[in-house]
Structure 1
């Protein structure tokens, strides 16, 4: 059902036909990158955290980024605690591996990490473990109704420096 809700979400911009569905799994960053044919960092992964009043918040990051607990706590004012698989489905309407900030079951706060901004386009999932859509960062912000761009990740800068040295 969740791929259908994402397609319905994208109809308002006439982008529902741009959703790619694959014969193979795109549930992990590595699988999605291999299936789409891009580097893992360009996969926009959506992480689900327990927010205030037990309502989830979603943080969309680059595929090579990791949550920095200190930065997360400083920005949100509480410890980063991920939701269980059951809570993810209950809060978002999407299964793990297909979680995205589109076509959500509840009105959740969506935040985009600056680790994504180094790419012209990124590939978030579309509600199933075998789907994605290519979006610019501006489109991702608009279509997800993101509250803001934030800086709560680590490790991606290190990878970027390593690539510059090569």
Structure 2
């Protein structure tokens, strides 16, 4: 019987089924920001891919952004062709991803979610993203993350 959290188990199965090769690491519970995760992993904060789910008039939009960036929601909404992006409420996040805020992975959602990948992440040889639980992350590359998610690459900051 696995002692691994069900969210991590689902994520691992999806990662393997899509051909992902990253290592899943469970961090201490106290690591709840990109800066703390980067410190625990020994990487730059920019190599942490934060998974942010937005509500675009009732439709989910997932943005995988560098931990070094803040998303300019107005500029990003215009770039991706939606009227506006609002911060998703916890219930909306769980409904569309099957995961909780802080643990939203780029994969293993109940239905496909339009996904956008911060171009800045390409600067890092190894990128770390959530693995289905707030304390779990996995290693990947920009190219692999792009292939795994089918994301569109976008700039997320102010032009």
Give the TM-score taking structure 1 as reference length. 0.82
Q: Which residue of 1 aligns with 2:65?
A: 61
Q: Which residue of 2 aligns with 1:87?
A: 92
The CA deviation string for residues 9-53 of structure 1, in whole angstroms up to 9 with x for no partner, is 01222637x21123444432122112212121110001101125x
Of residues 9, 12, 15, the one that matches 2:21 is 15
Unaligned runs of 5+ in 1: 156-166
The whole-number CA distance in structure 2 between the counterparts of 1:51 and 1:106 is 16
Alignment of 1:81-160 (within 5 A): 81-146=86-151, 148-154=152-158
Unaligned runs of 5+ in 2: 1-5
User: Given that residues 56 and 84 in structure 2 are in contact (C-alpha distance below 8 angstroms), is that contact kept between their aligned partners in structure 1?
Assistant: no
Higher normalized helix content (fraction of residues): 1
User: Given that residues 69 and 157 in structure 2 are in contact (C-alpha distance below 8 angstroms), is that contact kept between their aligned partners in structure 1?
Assistant: yes
Q: CA deviation at 1:69?
A: 3.0
The CA deviation string for residues 98-133 of structure 1, in whole angstroms up to 9 with x for no partner, is 112111122111110112122122100101111111
Number of residue equivalences: 152
Q: Which residue of 2 aligns with 1:78?
A: 83
Give the TM-score taking structure 2 as reference length. 0.86
